[in-house]
Structure 1
Amino acid sequence: MFDKVLIANRGEIACRIIRTCRKLGIRTVAVYSEADARAQHARLADEAWPIGGPRPQDSYLRGEAILEVARKSGAQAIHPGYGFLSENADFAEAVEAAGLVFIGPKGASMRKMGSKAGAKQLMDQRGVPVVPGYTGEDQDPAKLQAEADRIGYPLMIKAAHGGGGKGMRIVRAAGEFAAALESCQREAAGAFGRDCVLLERYIERPRHIEIQVFGDSHGQVIHLGERECSAQRRYQKVVEESPSPFMTPALRERMGQAAVEAARAIDYVNAGTVEFIVGPEGDFYFMEINTRLQVEHPVTELVTGLDLVEWQLRVAAGEPLPLAQDAITRSGHAIEVRLYAEDPAAGFLPGSGRLEMLCLPSPSANVRIDAGVVAGDTVTIHYDPMIAKLIVHDADRPRALARLREALADCEVVGPKSNIAFLENLVRHPEVVDGTIHTAYLDRHLEDVLPKEAPLPPAMLALAASACLLHDEAATAAATAASADPHSPWGIADGWRLGHAGERLLCFVYRGERIELHARGSAGDYQLTGNGADIRVAGARLAGDRLVAEVDGRQQRARARADARHVLVHDGDQRFSLERVPAVLTDDAAAGAGDDRLTAPMPGRIVLVKAEPGQAVEEGQELLVMEAMKMELSLCAPRAGTVAKVQAAAGEFVEADVVLLTLEDA
């Protein structure tokens, strides 16, 4: 086994690898960019070395800088995690040329999978089912249009050198093909440096099922069962689970054998994933092999009881696979979701900023948290905005879903917006509960799942107010106990005033509206008036984040969390988040941009400008294309008019809220 391993990655996966190395007694070396100088992975490792600027191309994609750190630190092996250089054959070969071990497959195996077209041809030759399509080298648009017409519609255009949902478009009619091809090629060139595409028949109502494979240097290749990732939005996986509710034992056997044959076809060593698209009747087709560990590997770990990172390290050190195929057992059901800093209501616009509060459920035998940040850390604009992975395990799927709903209810993010409420809606949706969701469902029915800000029920308002009052009373008592006069009557937070019972004013903002409540009483017994309500609360008690109270004679229970600035109450089905504001309202709101200006919604790079001064445009017409946080954003005209001025150029990096274009009346 190795004495010291360098992790050429960041975030939760770097932290995950470091913890496994620590368990095995292996020292770790972290690398970090300027943006990650205080990141958790840099703090957790035994050593941490800077490798460049905040942009990935200035740090985590600089193979030569990573190799230099490995040389100076005395690391014997490099673990690439996933993303960045994990599937870069040149880097894998450079690691080996430097006399180090690359913890992953050989560069030659990666090269066979680096081209989707070549991979499909190879799999077809080995008898692994593939989707009919076009994988030729002739990329002339006329040729591609002709091939698309031959294959028939609907079809999919896919970047030949890529993954992660980038450079993919569904085309349903011949007239849509040219525009979709241009957009796909542009995105592929920006993300992968090459704009070659392939075409393939689009399977309606498909399921996405992938098989975890493992090979060693002694000729053994096995599989560890499947993961289903059919809940997707824009080709990005949202929910991952194992086993698949769609799978039968016979189908699992056939797909497992096909996955092992696919891995053998490229002489695969270490961890990898063979991805299949599966039709409604159980017909399955090879999509690709991800030549790395994947984000969703924890669900496989929970149902098998194995540590896949430990397996990676052992195989890379030359050991045989710890278990043979017939020794692999699986039990229970595991589900994973990813908590992101993003705004579902704004088209899942990625967010950034300081995590003022980050509450996650406590890890247990049934709940696992893989996180690379803690409260107080910053989600930066330079990398994927994932906050944490939440993974649950239980005896069967219904209980695992119930466990996941409970765990999500325990989550809270204050700072950048998050997708927690969206995930809560999704895991309650009938298509997910019944296990019938397919990969196109969310894109077609997203409105059914997006969280709607419901009116605040009076009982929830009363519980929110009670949580705040109990918090304030406890804070006052704690401050008094720590003061020079711990027995001062002025430190009693009961609202008492000379000559009358006294009251406290609570002010909140919910859905942009100000709410004022007058509260009399203390210690869990309150009379709340205001906002059209007159509510009696009795016996309110807060234990941890569980609040129990009698509201107007009816017993109520909820999760509740309050501090000086926020309060969250969760009734078990829905969360209500309120901002606490001063009793005196200040008006410092700036005027909005209006309909004459198109501004950058977040920091990013302008990749395309499709307007020029004097051009007449219609409302909703695409005027610029912006790339931010690994996503391409279309910026459209807020109204009809004439372009007065274009203030951004292709390739330019812009900050949030910068004016990019102005309009005037026609």
Structure 2
Amino acid sequence: MSNEHYLHNPLIHADRRLGRHRSPWVRQFDCTHIAPLIICRGPIRKEAMDVFREMGITRFGILLSEKDSITYQNALAPELRAMTDPDRIHRVPDYTGANKEEREQRIRQIINIAHDNGYNAIFAGYGFMAEDEAMVAAMEAAGLNFIGPCSRTVHDAGLKDEAKRTALKAGVSVTPGVDNATALTLLKKCPDATALKALAEEHDLALDPAIFEAGALELPDLADRVLAASYGKGIDLYTVDELCETLTEVVEQMTAQYPENRVRLKAISGGGGKGQRILGIGEVARSPELTREILNEVKTTGVGDNKNVLVELNIETTRHQEIQVLGNGQWCITLGGRDCSLQMHEQKLLEVSVTDESLRTALAQAEAEDNAEEIRILTQEIRTLEEMEDEAARFGKAVGLDSVSTFECIVDRDKHFFMEMNTRIQVEHRVTELCYALRFTNPEDPADSFVVESLVEAMVLLAAHGPALPQPTREVRHNDSVEARLNATNQALKPAAGGVIEYWSDAVDGEIRDDQGISLHNPDTDSFMKYTLAGAYDSNIALLLTVGDTRLETYQRLAETIRQAQMRGKELATNLEFHYGLVNWFIGNNINARPTTRFIVPYLTAVGELRARANNIDLHHAWEGLRRHLLAAHEGAAAKELAAALDRKQTLILRPLELLLAQPHMLAGWLSIHRDSYTMLDGHSSWNGNPLLLLDETYHYLDMDYDPDAPAASVVWDHDHELLQAGLAFYGELHAVLGEDDWLALSSRLAEERAPDGMAADRWAAVRAAHRGFQAGMELLSVLPRLAEASGFFELSVNADLSIHIPERLLDAEHQAAMAKVLVPPPRAKADEILAESGGMFYGRETPTHEPYVSVGDHFEAGDPLYIVEVMKMFNKVYAPFAGTVDEVLVEEDGVIISKGQPLFKITPDEKIVIESPAEVAARRRAATDEFLAQLV
């Protein structure tokens, strides 16, 4: 797709206006009477705007928070570029408010905006208040049509404790754990029905006295009823400290029962990675701290808020899969699954479709190759998908699902457990709608039907005509699809706000780009408009998708899309290179690999190890050393000829190598797809193919193909291109003349002085001389496999059963943290100060009621928390890199915006910090390079 979500996408029908259809049955589902107010932001807001227009819905407005541009200039929502009527843009301070009171105020404000401006519907997308039961109920009470699940479904399915209980009743498998910590906390204070009744009377709670009669309800259920009444009245019957005490006891019990598993704490109103923490083995004491963190994160610390927190067993080999489900309250269907295991900090990064068609295609390929283990695994995958889809449909019916939702599961080998239902559309919903369409057919006339390819359109149809819609059938569009989330993050995947996108290349053929309007060009000049990435909300910039008939084809298209993407800007950091490396890792290893949610951090650690090795290589020093070694074996005219050949090839060889060594994610991808290009013999690498052809492929991999109109810095240079093409032409002709396709056989033939039959000796001598000239200096390419071998990069590999082998060193937390700093070195500081590792919002304490982590005069140890920085929805606690004493706190108050490299504390370290000088760094790199050269030559 190009710059607009649907209008330029050949995969999507251009006109969805059902009112124009000739069939009366179809025309009844026209939605042009809907006038929605969009109260979300980001790509889903732009998508909704596009879909509404295509449906003929012309009267819609958007809610614009001042936080869209609160931190940085020119960070205003890019979707406004497509809005021509300023009267349809409605401004509020924030979408949700900071606490319960502000949330209620915002809900009333949204209702007033809708009523005052003639909107009759609300679209909340996948963020902010999309799953807020109170908001949905308020919209319904105000006579507004909420485009999404109704408040009853949001309550029964959206609240994680209620959902878990419903799942058990519906026969859905659930994760072991405790879902009623608040009820258990209350029962400690009021251990029987009499005490609970007295408490209810004391606070004048609106409850039927009959529920307190003996046997009417189980005690935990009765406690839940009392708690629900207290939330409705806006009072607290327990304190956070009391809840933390209960949770600690639950965690202790689960740790004793499952000593080899970690435990997950999850706020019932969390989602999208927020409101969840994992306790490591033996970290029971941290449960109160983490409980407070997640309650703060989901803004449920106010009086009367439901503060329930689930405690669940963390399945260590978890794969995160989800089923797309939709219904109209009577029927419920599923649209296949998505694998979202490739995530970090509970934030998804790469999402791939899981469809019956795709799995059966992969199974057929495994059967053709007689791969018994893959046949076994893929057969189980098909069975698991069928079971999850069946459970999703049953659960959807149980909660009366009347819109689009997502049934989320964790998969552990041949078992799966229901995790939660997200009662909203998901960020990755496009992965599903690119695989399946919905056909609605007239029950009275099978030939009378219409097709829906957009889940947003399906939500509008269900909101406008739900009861009248017959159950649709799903139709295959593509076997596979994949989505990469392009985020504003650094090389270690930490959020990086404040960068300016100054240029972004247009979408290429096969690319589907949802970018909330950032790519829309200036309508007068057709130039790209700069955009500043603000830090008030999440780090997502765009969603990049591709489709295919197989997963391999889909990944290859995504790799090609990213290869050609060009993005430049000021202080801009994105995960584009990370995605390029990751996608190529799977292409080079096994596209059917089954990664778990623990994969990304070890993968990043392996990439960090590559970077650490690459940092010690001085390529120019290596080139000079190789040059001296090669020339030492020649003298006279031969030496001069070789020297000239090496001088001509210096930039041809060094430029791509310099780029690969400077971009570790690009290097990881290159090594992955070329892991079979060499063989190690006696500690030396030997290329299995022509190194010159490999060099040409490397220029292509780096998107440095020859283009006379492109900036010289981004492509192969003219003279290098001519030399490379001359070499490729030479070997092409030589293969034809000698009738030898195999490179190793050709190399052996070229080592012989005797000329082939039919070729003159002088011509053969010239051919051999040209061969030596074209291959001269190519030995330096061996730096790439040497780095892989030295770092053990290929030890991270796919097992025969499609699971991934992760070496133990890559799971070590200290090593992971060290390699993250290698990928993104902290700002260079003086020996007496601590600098901000990133920009964002500074907090010097756990919560507003806590004491600061450190104050003037405090002594801290290495690893102690110093402050929190909130960057793009993520709360990152920063720990002391060494021990010392605080001399001065340079940030005056919490909630202040800080920038990367800004001094935060003046300190006196316990031990003198030794900083390596530039000369010492250069000497160390030369020594490491000389060691590499010794292995090379």
- Of the three residues 690, 693, 708, the one matched with 1:541 is 708
1:180-259 maps to which residues of 2 (within 5 A)? 180-194=287-301, 195-217=307-329, 219-243=330-354, 248-259=381-392
Aligned to 2:254: 148
- Equivalent position to 2:435, from 291, 296, 303: 303
Cα contact 1:548–1:556 (8 A) shared by 2: no
Distance 2:403 2:386 in 1: 21
Aligned to 2:755: none
- Report what 1:22 is aligned to: 53
Post-superposition offset of 1:621? 2.8
Query: What letter is aligned with 1:594?
Result: K
- Match of 1:541, SS state, is coil
Alignment of 1:618 with 2:846, yes or no, is no
Structure 1: unaligned runs, 5 residues or longer: 459-506, 514-536, 558-573, 575-590
Contact 1:215 1:222 in 2 (8 A): yes
Amino acid corresponding to residue 250 of structure 2 in structure 1: L
Aligned pair partner of 2:63 in 25, 31, 38: 31
SS class of match (2:271)? coil
Match of 1:129 in 2: 173
* Preserved CA contact (<8 Å) 2:269 2:298: no
Q: Distance in 2 between matches of 1:226 and 1:77?
A: 29
* CA deviation vs aligned residue, 1:70-110 (integer Å, no higher than 9, x gap): 22221121110111111111111121222110001111211
After the TM superposition, which of the residue ranges 289-298 and 177-186 deviates more from structure 2? Answer: 177-186
Could you tell me which residue of structure 2 aligns to residue 487 of structure 1?
none
Paired residue secondary structure (1:427) = helix
1:525-558 CA deviation, whole Å, 9 max, x = no partner?
xxxxxxxxxxxx998634799879553611299x
Q: How many residues of Structure 1 are paired with residues of Structure 2 in the alignment? A: 559
Of 62-71 and 52-61, more deviation after overlay is shown by: 52-61
Q: Which of 404, 408, 421 in structure 1 is aligned with 2:558? A: 404
Query: More displaced, 45-54 or 547-556?
Result: 547-556
In structure 2, the partner of 1:44 is 82
The question of 1:443 aligning with 2:601 is answered yes
**How far did residue 660 of structure 1 move?**
2.9
Contact 2:147 2:459 in 1 (8 A): yes
Alpha-carbon shift at residue 5 of structure 1 (Å)? 1.6
After superposition, the C-alpha distances for 1:276-297 in whole angstroms (9 at most, x for unaligned) are 111112x111000000000000
Asked whether the equivalents of residues 841 and 897 of structure 2 are also in contact (C-alpha less than 8 Å), the reply is yes
* Contact residue 884 and residue 907 of structure 2 kept, 8 A: yes
Equivalent residue for 1:428? 584
The structure with the largest strand share of the pair is 1
Deviations 1:394-445 (CA, angstroms, capped at 9, x unpaired): 1111110100000111223222211001111111224673322111111333
Deviation at 1:65, TM superposition (A): 2.7
Question: Which amino acid in the other structure matches residue 144 of structure 1?
Answer: V
Q: Alignment RMSD, CA only? A: 3.5
> Which one of 598, 606, 616 corresponds to residue 834 of structure 2?
598
For residues 705 and 322 of structure 2, the distance between their equivalents in structure 1, rounded to whole angstroms, comes to 53
Q: Which moved more, 1:74-83 or 1:619-628?
A: 619-628
Say whether 1:260 aligns with 2:430.
no
Matched AA of 1:206? T
SS in 2 for 1:183: helix
Distance across 2 between alignment mates of 1:420 and 1:43 = 25
1:449 Cα shift?
Answer: 4.5
Q: Counterparts of 1:267 and 1:280 in 2: how far apart (Å)?
A: 31
Q: Does 1:342 align with 2:374?
A: no
Which residue does the alignment assign to 1:76?
120
Deviates more, 1:646-655 or 1:148-157: 646-655
What SS does the corresponding residue of 1:162 show, helix, strand or coil? strand
Residue identity in the other structure for 1:433:
I
User: Is 1:158 equivalent to 2:272 in the alignment?
Assistant: no
Alpha-carbon offset, residue 55 of structure 1: 7.7
Instruction: Quickly say closer, same or farther: Cα 1:547–1:31, change in 2 above 3 A.
Output: farther
Change (3 A) 1:548 1:321: farther
For the residues of structure 1 that align with 2:271 and 2:830, how far apart are their CA atoms?
Answer: 38
- 2:721 is aligned to 551
Contact conserved, 2:34 with 2:121, CA < 8 A, in 1? no
Query: Larger Cα Rg: Structure 1 or Structure 2?
Result: 2
Q: Counterparts of 1:161 and 1:540 in 2: how far apart (Å)? A: 53
Does the 8 Å CA contact 2:840/2:869 hold for their aligned counterparts?
no
Task: Quote the Cα distance in structure 2 between the aligned partners of 1:158 and 1:236.
Answer: 15
**Residue in 2 aligned with 1:293?**
425
Amino acid at match of 1:446: L
For 1:134 and 1:658, locate their aligned partners in 2 and report how far apart those are by CA, in whole Å: 43
Counterpart CA distance in 2 for 1:360 and 1:539 is 19
**Partner SS, residue 426 of structure 1:** helix
Counterpart of 2:393 in structure 1: which amino acid? V
Q: CA deviation at 1:214?
A: 0.5
Q: How does 1:464-543 map to 2 (within 5 A)?
A: 541-542=708-709
1:503-525 per-residue CA deviation (whole Å, 9 max, x = no partner) reads xxxx9x98999xxxxxxxxxxxx
Matches of 1:614 and 1:663, distance apart in 2 = 9
Identity of aligned residues (%): 28
2:286 matched to 1:179?
Answer: yes
1:642 is aligned to 2:885: yes
Aligned mates of 1:145, 1:206 — CA distance in 2:
20
Match of 2:532 among 378, 382, 385: 378
Q: What residue ranges of structure 2 are gaps of 5+ in the alignment?
A: 1-30, 70-74, 186-242, 302-306, 360-377, 438-452, 520-528, 621-654, 663-703, 728-783, 785-826, 847-851, 911-937
Q: Measure the CA separation in 2 of the matches of 1:538 and 1:26.
A: 45
- Report the secondary structure of 2:285's partner residue: helix
Name the aligned partner's letter for residue 319 of structure 2: R
Q: Does 1:167 align with 2:207?
A: no
Change in CA separation of 1:73 and 1:45 when aligned onto 2, cut-off 3 Å: farther
The alpha-carbon distance between structure 1 residues 642 and 112, as it changes in their structure 2 partners (threshold 3 A), is same
Give the conservation status (yes or no) of the 8 Å contact 1:31–1:42: no
Residues 350 and 484 of structure 2 are in contact (CA less than 8 Å); yes or no, is this contact kept in structure 1?
yes
AA at the equivalent of 2:36 = V
Asked whether the equivalents of residues 155 and 162 of structure 2 are also in contact (C-alpha less than 8 Å), the reply is no
The 10-residue stretch of structure 1 (373-382 or 225-234) with the greater mean CA deviation from structure 2: 373-382
CA displacement at 1:170 relative to structure 2? 2.9
| RCO higher in structure (CA 8 A, sep ≥6) | 2
Deviates more, 1:607-616 or 1:3-12: 607-616
Structure number with the higher helix fraction is 2
Closer/same/farther in 2, CA of residues 132 and 107 from structure 1, 3 Å limit:
same
Q: Are the counterparts in 2 of residues 422 and 451 from structure 1 also a CA contact under 8 Å? A: no
TM-aligned CA distance change 1:592 to 1:243, over 3 Å: closer
- Work out whether residues 272 and 292 of structure 1, in 8 Å CA contact, stay in contact via their aligned partners in 2: yes
Equivalent residue number for residue 907 of structure 2: 663
Alpha-carbon distance between aligned partners in 2 of 1:65 and 1:511, rounded to the nearest angstrom = 53
- Shift in Å at residue 206 of structure 1? 1.6
- How far the C-alpha of 1:118 sits from its partner, in A, is 2.5
Q: Separation in 1 of the partners of 2:833 and 2:320?
A: 42
1:563-618 Cα shifts (integer Å, max 9, x gaps)? xxxxxxxxxxx9xxxxxxxxxxxxxxxx9542322333212141433123222223
Instruction: Say yes or no: does 1:369 pair with 2:413.
Output: no
Tell me if the contact between 2:436 and 2:475 (Cα under 8 Å) persists in the aligned partners: yes
Change (3 A) 1:330 1:322: farther
1:111-148 Cα deviation digits (max 9, x unpaired):
22343222212211211100111122233244224432
The one-letter amino acid of 2:145's match is: V
Amino acid at match of 2:839: M
- Following superposition, the deviation at residue 164 of structure 1 comes to 1.6
TM-score, normalization by structure 2:
0.55
Is residue 2:121 matched to residue 1:10?
Answer: no
